[in-house]
Each structure stands twice: as C-alpha cells, then as structure tokens.
Amino acid sequence: MEDVMIEFKNVKKVYKLYKSDKYRFLGIFFKKIPYKKNEASEDLSFVIRKGESVALLGRNGAGKSTVLKMITKTAFPTEGEVIVNGRVSALLELTSGFDPEFTGRENIYLKGRLMGIQDSEIAKMEPEIIDFAGIGDYIDQPTRTYSSGMKARLGFAVNANIRPEIFIIDEALSVGDAEFKKKCLDKVKKIINDDNVTLVFVTHSEEQAAQFCDRGMVLEKGKVAFDGDINEAIKYYRKK
C-alpha cells in the first residue's frame, strides 16, 4: 500500500453547534451545556492513490469542505481514522496564514514555515513564487497595503509552487482577472502532469472537474453516494 496517499477509515465528523460563543466556551468544561449536532461526515471510507486526480462533487452541505479540512488537519474526525502520506498544499483560504504587518516576501517564508518547509528550501522557491504572483514592488510592502486580489495572487503563488505531493483545491481557480486565472489553470495542469501529484478538487464546475480529474466522488449528506469514472460521476451528480 506504498502508493496510498490518502485513506479514510470509517470516518465520522460531528460538529457541536452552540447557542453562542459563551455556551461554546462553557461546553469545553461542562458536558451538560446544550448544543445541536451536525453530522458533516458519516462512515466515510475511501482510498486515493499516488497520481490520482479526484473531484469531490456534491450540493452545498454534502460534506465536501469537511473532507478537505480533515485531509489538511484543520479539523479532526470524531470517529474513525484519516491517514495522509506526503506534503499537502491546499488552495482553500488563499490568504490564511498571512501576517498583515509582514511584507509579501516575509509572508512567503511565514507560510512556508507553517507548512514545515526549511528556510533554505523556501529560498530556492522564492524567485518562482514572486514571479508567478506578479505584484511587482509590492512584494516588499506590508500585505495590509495589498488589495484582496493581490493577496489572493500571492497566496496562490505560494501554495502552487511549494512542490506538493498532495494538492488540494476548493473552488480557488477563479482568482484574479482572466489572464491570471488562465495562468493558474495552466499551473495546476503542469503540476498534475509533470510532478505526478495527487489532486483532490472540490468544485461545482462540471467542466473543470472533467478537465482536471479522471475520478469523481459524489457526496450526499456526508456519505459517498458514487465513486468512479469522472464522466459517470458527473452524470450521477446531474440527476440529483
């Protein structure tokens, strides 16, 4: 099973929904604090192997983003086990991890360190990241002075150029203007084709799902309703 990059074993994820932040805080210490349960994932089991390109399809609330959060370890299963082998780069919240007082260049190193990458390795990637972002002299200005588009450009540039083994994308390919969007699409294609990267792609775009992925998983109410060829997955998704 050396080629297994991601494995979910009977995974269940339950979110506790409290009435307010006060109740949420008290819930840490007292079990009797009332809350509602939201089962985002239920008995999820699947395997994704090295080099596979998998689209996660499903209506809003199907549990797609929860799966990505558990892969990236920003959320953890209530029951079951999630196994991830390899460096993960996630295009989720593109600007998360940026310090507004740091320059763009400093934030490249900050995000790299948060991903567990050594400064010496980040330094080798730095010129390519800066060139891809295309924000000119602003790279040495505090990111609080950036427009939202500039921050998104830099965020995409960092995540797409750290040579990931597992690439996670959640509707992030609409970044910037038409020219930069095409640049992002071309970069994703290059990563998949040249580096044998494992791709997990959440999208509502059937066209992009078919363009980038050969396998599709349709989620319904936190469960896998269909798992197979991407074209068959899209057909199943359309019927729902």
Give the pLDDT confidence of 68-98 residue by residue, as tens digits: 889 988 889 999 999 999 888 877 666 667 8
Q: How confident is the model at residue 148 (pLDDT cuts 50, 70, 90)?
A: confident
pTM equals 0.77
| Token duo for residue 45 | 């089991």
Q: Which helix (H) or strand (E) holds 114?
A: helix 104-114
Contact 131, 161 (CB under 8 A): no
Residue with the bigger pLDDT between 56 and 176: it is 56
User: Does residue 1 have a pLDDT over 60?
Assistant: no
**Amino acid (one-letter) located at 195:** D
**Which pLDDT belongs to residue 239?**
83
Query: Which residues, 6+ apart, have CB-to-CB distance to 62 below 8 Å?
Result: 219, 220, 221, 222
**Which pLDDT belongs to residue 117?**
85
Q: C-alpha angle 150/154/158, rounded to 5°?
A: 170
Contact 8, 86 (CB under 8 A): no
The class of domain 4-86+202-239 in CATH terms is: alpha beta
Domain boundaries, the chain: 4-86+202-239
Q: What residues pair up with 169 in beta bridges, in sequence order?
A: 91, 201
> How would you list the strands of the sheet with 223-229, edge to edge?
88-91, 166-170, 198-202, 53-57, 215-220, 223-229
What span, in angstroms and rounded, lies between the C-alpha atoms of 123 and 26? 45
Give the pLDDT confidence of 103-126 residue by residue, as tens digits: 999 999 998 888 788 899 999 999
Give the pLDDT confidence of 174-203 residue by residue, as tens digits: 666 677 777 777 888 887 776 678 999 988
